[in-house]
Homo-oligomer: A and B are copies of this chain.
Amino acid sequence: MEKKGAILIISGPSGCGKSTLLKNVYKDISDYYFSISTTTREPRLGEKDGVDYFYVSREMFEEDIKNGYFLEWAEVHGNYYGTSLKPIKKALSKGKLVIFDIDVQGHEIVRKKLNDLVTSVFITTPTLDELEQRLYERNTDSKEVISKRLDNARQEIKSFQKYDYFIVNDDLKKASKELIAIANIARVKSKLHEKEVIIKNWLNF
């Protein structure tokens, strides 16, 4: 049988704890490929090119859009963010679980294009107040950027019913366990396209 990977999309407002959660999950799952997005925004303190993002100029990003190199892209808070198609295809053909950390717009586009392979989860803090507090404690964004992020979170939360699962990240251990369960199920779910084959095997005899 042909090897076919699966896709796990993780979304949620900046500050909800996605990165920390993901670090926990990587210890417990195998054979995954984390999709690194390309962006035109400036690296934050401690972020590295090729690890957190691929950092490129607006000109380069726009050139790649024209060439159809992106599976999905969007402009958020005045910066471009996108996912290059080529490494995703390669990882999927090797049977890997491809993990995306993208926003609700990206989720909708990837789901539309690769629905059979996608499992998705939306991660939140319990309340907006707690998100605000975490963003101030993180101390990486200006007051203006935080305000933009909160506006954005308020919008994004309305879309979370489009996701397969959601996690309220109020307890790191519990939330990690839930995300591991979701990552494991993503591969099982990705086999749903085999249903037709099974039905044929069973009913045409």
Q: How far is the CA of A191 from the CA of B124 in the complex (A)?
A: 14
15 additional contacts, CB 8 Å, given A167-B188, A181-B184? A124-B198, A124-B202, A126-B198, A128-B205, A157-B198, A165-B189, A166-B191, A168-B194, A178-B188, A180-B184, A181-B181, A181-B187, A184-B184, A184-B185, A185-B185
Q: How far is the CB of A174 from chain B (nearest CB, A)?
A: 10
Contacts of A194 in B (CB 8 A): 168
Question: Is B178 in contact with A182, judged by CB distance below 8 angstroms?
Answer: no
Question: Is A188 in contact with B202, judged by CB distance below 8 angstroms?
Answer: no
Which size class do A's interface residues fall under? 20 to 34
- 0 or 1 for each of A165-205: is its CB under 8 Å from B? (1 = yes): 11110000000001011101101110110110011011101
Q: How far is the CB of A152 from chain B (nearest CB, A)?
A: 13
Question: Is A157 in contact with B202, judged by CB distance below 8 angstroms?
Answer: yes
Question: Is A199 in contact with B157, judged by CB distance below 8 angstroms?
Answer: yes
A181-B184, A188-B182 known; A195-B127 Cβ under 8 A: no
Copy count, this protein chain: 2
Complex partner residue of A198 from B166, B184, B195, B205, CB under 8 angstroms: B166
The list of the 3 closest CB pairs from A to B, nearest first, reads A181-B184, A185-B185, A157-B202
User: Which residues of A108-139 are within 8 A (CB) of B?
Assistant: 124, 126-129
Contacts of A178 in B (CB 8 A): 188
Question: Is A154 in contact with B198, judged by CB distance below 8 angstroms?
Answer: no
A161 at the interface (CB under 8 A from B): yes
**A121 and chain B: residue at smallest CB distance:** B188
Contacts of A129 in B (CB 8 A): 205
Q: How far is the CB of A76 from chain B (nearest CB, A)?
A: 19
A181-B181, A181-B188, A182-B185 known; A195-B154 Cβ under 8 A: no
In the assembled complex, 17 residue pairs joining A and B whose CB atoms fall closer than 8 Å, in A order, are A126-B201, A127-B201, A128-B201, A128-B202, A129-B205, A154-B202, A157-B198, A157-B203, A158-B203, A160-B198, A161-B195, A166-B192, A168-B198, A181-B184, A181-B188, A182-B188, A184-B184
